[in-house]
Amino acid sequence: MSGGVERLAVSDPWAGKRQMWDEATKVAEFPEISGGKFISSKDELWSDVLTAGPIRLFKDSAGISRDFIKAFSEMRQLRRDPVFAGVGVPHGDGSPVRVLGGFTSSQAHYFDATSAICKANYGAETLPWGFANVLSPPKMADYMMPVLWKAKRESGKRLKLVVHSIGGYDAFAMMLKYPEQFVDSVEHVVTVGSPIPRDLNTALAFGYLVCNFFEEGEEFAMSQQLGTIKPIVESGLVKFSSIESSADPMVRGQHFSLDGDHYIIEDASHGALGMNRHTVRAIEHIFAGEEVDSTIYPNIHHPAPALLAA
């Protein structure tokens, strides 16, 4: 499949911008973050899981259980919110939107969120990852890049991507493995619960490692390239926005987007952050280039100045 990607014809907006990309990636350094270190190898993650101890494993497992309960409630809330009918949000121009879900999720989990985005006048569809997203990001990149390029060719417009949890890392893998094709096909990426990972829930990490036990861990080697993301974001070749929960029990880290393009959803789950009514509202405002009025929707806001300065 990757061979097919390499043969894709590339048009604007990449033309003339190879030097910009090269300069952005050349000066990049692996990012630093206060309070922890980035997970950069499969062995490091296995070590973290195996040395976690029973108390941490119990707490993290309990955190997953609580998150699932909260997620179930949030998915039901979306259907009862006016945003589900496209009411009270800015409308788009019919631009194509593609949605890529989180670890172990199915396309069906995102049906309501995708429908809500459609009702705000976007051509939204889920990408065809099937019953469960369990492939490693490098493998998903090989599978999905031709799908994105075909969608762009058929619509005649670059795509907007909404990527949740591991779907965000799938998108970054596409960008790092196939930069020209990605820039040609995608104009805007909204990551939802996909920071540069510093801390992972050990129970979740164990499940991922088991699902990819026989893989070589290429995705962790690629994480060493995540330092290239910031200058690429600043270059404007692809616009990046990000959304995270204030109380995510699954993954914590540093957001990819510029601070003004980053939204926080208060006390939301990780599991349903991609289908959360506040997330959908934020996405539709982001695509329209309009700010969410946090006096009306206090659960949606940018990071506090104190957090930005920390």
Q: Is residue 49 part of a domain?
A: yes
pLDDT at 258: 83
Nearest CA to 192 among 167, 172, 226, 159?
167
Q: Is residue 111 part of a domain?
A: yes
Q: Find tokens 């164990």 and name the residue.
A: 206
Q: Residue 96 is encoded by which pair of tokens?
A: 């194509």
pLDDT at 26: 53
Least confident of 40-44, 90-94, 263-267, 273-277: 40-44
pLDDT at 226: 63
pLDDT at 40: 62
HSE-CB for 139 with a 13 A CA cutoff: 10
pLDDT at 52: 82
What kind and span of H or E run contains 161? strand 159-164
Q: Is residue 25 part of a domain?
A: no
Q: What's the pTM value of the predicted model, to 2 decimals?
A: 0.83
Per-residue confidence at 310, pLDDT binned at 50, 70, 90? very low
Least confident of 20-29, 101-110, 147-156, 238-247: 20-29
Give, as one character, the DSSP assignment of residue 224. T
Q: Is residue 122 part of a domain?
A: yes
- Could you tell me how far CA 295 lies from the centroid of its own chain? 26
Q: Is residue 302 part of a domain?
A: yes
Q: Is residue 22 part of a domain?
A: no
Question: Distance between CA atoms of 284 and 111, rounded to whole angstroms?
Answer: 16
pLDDT at 220: 61
Q: Is residue 250 part of a domain?
A: yes
Residue 305, preceding bond cis, omega within 30 degrees?
no
Name the residue range of residue 44's domain: 35-272+289-309
pLDDT tens digits, 99-157: 999 988 999 999 999 999 999 999 999 999 988 888 888 889 999 999 999 999 999 99
Q: Is residue 221 part of a domain?
A: yes
* CATH number, domain containing residue 148: 3.40.50.1820
- Give the chain's domain count: 1
